[in-house]
Amino acid sequence: MECTFVGSYPSVDKMPPDGLPEFVFIGRSNVGKSSLINMLVGQKNLAHTSSMPGKTQMINLFQVDNAYRIVDLPGYGYARLSKKHRNSLMTMIRTYLRDREALFLVFQLLDIRVKPQKLDLDMLYWLGDQGIPASLLYTKADKLKSLEIKDSLEAYELEILKSWNSMPTSFLTSALVGEGRQSVLNYIASSLSSDH
């Protein structure tokens, strides 16, 4: 697998024209998006990770082989940004999700250690309302014991099924130990080869 950085863009209309299918990664600003993208593509420093949340404030685009693109959208909900700045980032995120024709599938990242958050649930419900296909990636699975993971997954399921008829496809992941890598890559490959 060869993954290259295409560019960073301040808005959807500045992005290259629609082309290859785009798999989009979204989540709260400290959920570990960049680390997970790096783990999936097998490159440590492709997506810039930072110990400070809220670092990604552009739309970052990567190309995998000549097959598809990965889109790293800014994290939402970072409290240290002004409300105006947070709102403008959310507008950028939703504009991409609504208007980008190359959008193929959204991976919403959820921190398995944290109980279901309103911001995440609101985003997931919004995706459902817009008819945008979404799957869930639970991050940082290495930080919990298996019983704690089971409890956390049940709590998410309870909340999500209040608004969704069935649970979206989901994966347990850990950027640290590589958990979920092959499953997610296989899922991307099979999504592309089916009439999704």
The 10s digit of each residue's pLDDT in 119-143 is: 999 999 999 999 999 999 999 999 9
Q: What is the mean pLDDT of residues 152-164?
A: 95
Name the fold adopted by 3-188.
Rossmann fold (3.40.50)
29 contacts 77 by C-beta, under 8 angstroms: yes
Handedness of CA 130, 120, 54, 109 (dihedral sign): negative
Q: Beta-strand (E) ranges in 10-56?
A: 22-26
Interval 179-195: pLDDT, tens: 999 999 999 999 999 85
Q: How far apart are CA 83 and CA 80, in angstroms?
A: 9
Cα–Cα nearest to 56, from 36, 31, 32, 29? 29
Q: Which is more confident, 145 or 50? A: 145
88 contacts 106 by C-beta, under 8 angstroms: no
Quick one: pLDDT at residue 56? 57
Q: How far apart are CA 91 and CA 96, in angstroms?
A: 9
- Mean pLDDT across the chain: 91
When pLDDT is cut at 50, 70 and 90, the band that residue 88 belongs to is confident
Cα–Cα nearest to 36, from 145, 141, 192, 187? 141
Interval 1-32: pLDDT, tens: 899 999 999 999 999 999 999 999 999 988 99
Phi, psi of 71 (to 5 degrees): -115, 120
25 contacts 73 by C-beta, under 8 angstroms: yes
How do strand 68-72 and strand 134-139 relate by DSSP bridges? unpaired
